[in-house]
C-alpha cells in the first residue's frame, strides 16, 4: 500500500513514520529545501541561540532507515482527489491514501502596501536565517505581534544587545493563552528585561527613509527602527485543496477520524480543521500525525477508522528573565478565575474554573504545582485541590482552598 504525505512538518513526519512503521510505502513531500525541522525553534535560530542542524527533527539517514522516501524541494502543485493523484517535481503519482499536513503560513501585515525588505515574517528557516544575517546591522528592532513568538523574539533580541519594542494589537500580550492579570505581570517582567511593550495598537504604514524604517501606529505615534519582525498570526493556503474539491473553511475540514470530505484523504496539524478552530500545537500535531498515519493505512486495508482524541497541550516557555506556563482558555464568559499567587510584578499563579471544574491554569514566573494542576484538569476544583494538598510534595502550592 502506498501512502503520500503532503507536507513535512511535525504532523507530516509523524504521519509518515507511523504509516511506514505499520508497513506502508510512504512518500513524504516537502516544499522546503532543508530537512524537516522543529518549527518552534526558528526564533532561537534567528537570534543565534541554535544552529540549523540543531533544529532538525531527524537526521537525514533516519528517513532512509524508516523506509520513508523524503523528497525535499518538491512542492505538490496539483491534487486529483478521487484518484488520489498528486503532481510534484514534474511528474504525477497515484497513491492508495493521502495525508495532507501542509501546516500554515504567516498572516500578511494588514497595512495595504508593499513592504520593504527589512520587514520579515518570522516563520520558517529561510526567514530565520535572513534575520540572523541582518542582526549585525541592527540596533533597533520592532516586533509586530505580541504572542508567544513575539515575546520570545523580544527576549532573544535583548540577549543579543538590541533595543526592542513589541507592538500587540490586542490589549495584552499572549492574548490567546493569558488573561489580563497574568498578561499584566508578564508585561512588567518584559519591561524589567528592557523590552518596550505597546498594547492595544497596530501598524498602519511602514516606510523606508534612508537606512531606517518608519512605522506609524494607529494612534499617530511613529516608531523608527532598523528591522521589523512580524508575528501577527497564521493563515492556511487552501487553493490546492479547494480546487481538488475538498471541503474547506478556515482549514481543510476533517471529522473525528481526521478524514476529509473525500474518503481516503486525511489531514492533520495546522491545515486540519476539526470543530471551530484549525489552530494546533506541536503536541497536537504529533498526536494527529500519528492518528492520520494509522487511519490512512486502515483505509487502504478496509478496516474501521479510529477516532483520534485531542491531547492536552500546554504552553511552556522558559527564559532566564521570563517563565510562562499555561493551559486551557485565557478567559471566557462564565469562567471564574481563582488567584493562587500574585505579587503584581514577578509571580502570578491562577486557575480557571468552569462551573466549579478546573479548566485552565496560568503561571508567570513560577512553575510550582503546574504539573499537578495539569493532571487535575476537568476535575471538580474542590476534589482536585484536596488531592493536590494531600500530596506531601506540594508545600508551595499557595491558596488552593
Q: What is residue 393's predicted lDDT score, i.e. its pLDDT? A: 54
Same domain, 56 and 97: yes
pLDDT at site 278:
52
Q: What is the model's pTM?
A: 0.93
Residue 50: how many other CB atoms lie within 10 Å: 16
Is 141 found in the same domain as 86?
A: no
Structural domain boundaries, residue 146: 119-230
Q: Which of 173, 202, 230 is the last residue of a domain?
A: 230
pLDDT tens track for 28-73: 999 999 999 999 999 999 999 999 999 999 999 999 999 999 999 9
Which secondary-structure segment (H or E) carries 217? strand 212-217
Question: Do 242 and 221 share a domain, yes or no?
Answer: no
Residues written for the chain = 401
What's the rounded Cα separation, in Å, for the pair 391 and 81?
Answer: 54
Same structural domain for residues 18 and 163?
no
- Could you write out the three-class secondary structure of 123-160? CCHHHHHHHHHHHHHCCEEEEECCCHHHHHHHHHHHHC
Residue 308 within any structural domain of the chain: no
111 within some domain: no
Domain match, 195 and 339 both: no
Number of structural domains (the chain) is: 3
Nearest to 197, CA basis, from 122, 139, 145, 131 = 145
- pLDDT, position 142: 98
Residue 396 maps to a domain: no
Do residues 20 and 66 lie in contact, with contact meaning Cβ atoms separated by under 8 Å? yes
Answer yes or no: do 79 and 143 share one domain.
no
Within a domain: residue 280? Answer: yes
Do 155 and 193 sit in the same domain of this protein? Answer: yes
- 129 within a domain of the structure (yes/no): yes
Q: Is residue 90 part of a domain?
A: yes
pLDDT exceeds cutoff 90 at 233:
no
50 and 196 share one domain: no
In the sheet with 222-225, reading across from the earlier edge strand, the strands are 203-209, 212-217, 222-225
The CATH number for 211's domain is: 3.50.50.60
- Considering the domain architecture, whether residues 144 and 179 belong to the same structural domain is answered as yes
- Whether 218 and 245 share a structural domain: no
In the numeric block, which cell numbers belong to residue 270? 495546522
CA 397 to chain centre: 29
Is the same domain home to 246 and 266? yes
Amino acid at each position: 500500500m502506498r501512502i503520500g504525505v503532503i507536507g513535512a512538518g511535525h504532523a507530516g513526519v509523524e504521519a509518515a513514520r507511523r504509516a511506514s512503521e505499520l508497513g506502508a510505502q510512504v512518500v513524504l513531500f516537502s516544499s522546503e529545501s532543508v530537512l524537516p525541522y522543529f518549527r518552534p525553534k526558528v526564533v532561537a535560530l534567528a537570534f543565534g541561540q541554535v544552529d540549523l542542524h540543531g533544529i532538525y527533527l531527524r537526521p537525514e539517514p533516519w528517513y532512509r532507515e524508516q523506509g520513508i522516501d523524503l523528497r525535499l524541494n518538491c512542492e505538490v502543485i496539483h491534487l486529483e482527489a478521487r484518484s488520489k493523484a498528486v503532481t510534484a517535481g514534474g511528474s504525477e503519482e497515484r497513491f492508495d491514501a493521502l495525508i495532507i499536513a501542509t501546516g500554515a503560513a504567516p498572516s500578511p501585515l494588514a497595512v495595504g502596501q508593499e513592504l520593504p525588505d527589512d520587514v520579515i515574517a518570522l516563520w520558517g528557516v529561510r526567514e530565520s536565517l535572513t534575520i540572523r544575517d541582518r542582526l549585525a546591522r541592527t540596533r533597533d528592532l520592532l516586533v509586530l505581534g505580541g504572542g508567544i513568538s513575539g515575546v520570545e523574539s523580544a527576549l532573544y533580541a535583548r540577549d543579543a544587545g538590541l533595543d526592542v519594542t513589541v507592538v500587540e494589537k490586542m490589549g495584552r500580550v499572549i492574548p490567546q493563552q493569558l488573561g489580563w492579570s497574568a498578561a499584566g505581570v508578564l508585561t512588567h517582567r518584559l519591561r524589567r528585561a528592557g523590552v518596550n511593550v505597546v498594547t492595544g495598537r497596530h501598524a498602519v504604514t511602514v516606510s523606508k527613509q534612508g537606512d531606517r524604517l518608519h512605522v506609524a501606529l494607529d494612534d499617530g505615534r511613529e516608531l523608527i527602527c532598523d528591522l521589523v519582525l512580524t508575528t501577527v498570526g497564521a493563515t492556511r493556503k487552501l487553493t490546492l485543496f479547494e480546487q481538488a474539491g475538498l471541503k474547506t473553511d478556515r482549514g481543510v475540514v476533517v471529522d473525528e477520524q481526521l478524514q476529509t470530505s473525500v474518503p481516503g484523504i486525511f489531514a492533520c496539524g495546522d491545515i486540519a480543521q476539526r470543530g471551530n478552530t484549525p489552530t494546533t500545537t506541536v503536541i497536537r500535531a504529533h498526536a494527529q500525525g500519528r492518528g492520520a498515519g494509522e487511519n490512512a493505512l486502515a483505509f487502504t486495508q478496509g478496516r474501521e477508522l479510529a477516532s483520534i482524541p485531542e491531547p492536552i497541550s500546554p504552553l511552556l516557555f522558559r527564559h532566564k528573565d521570563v517563565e510562562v506556563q499555561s493551559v486551557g482558555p485565557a478567559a471566557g464568559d462564565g469562567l471564574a478565575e481563582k488567584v493562587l499567587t500574585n505579587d503584581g510584578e514577578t509571580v502570578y499563579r491562577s486557575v480557571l474554573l468552569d462551573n466549579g471544574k478546573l479548566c485552565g491554569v496560568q503561571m508567570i514566573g513560577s512553575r510550582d504545582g503546574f504539573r499537578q494542576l495539569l493532571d487535575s484538569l476537568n476535575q471538580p476544583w474542590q476534589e482536585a485541590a484536596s488531592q493536590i494538598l494531600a500530596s506531601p510534595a506540594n508545600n508551595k502550592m499557595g491558596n488552593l482552598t
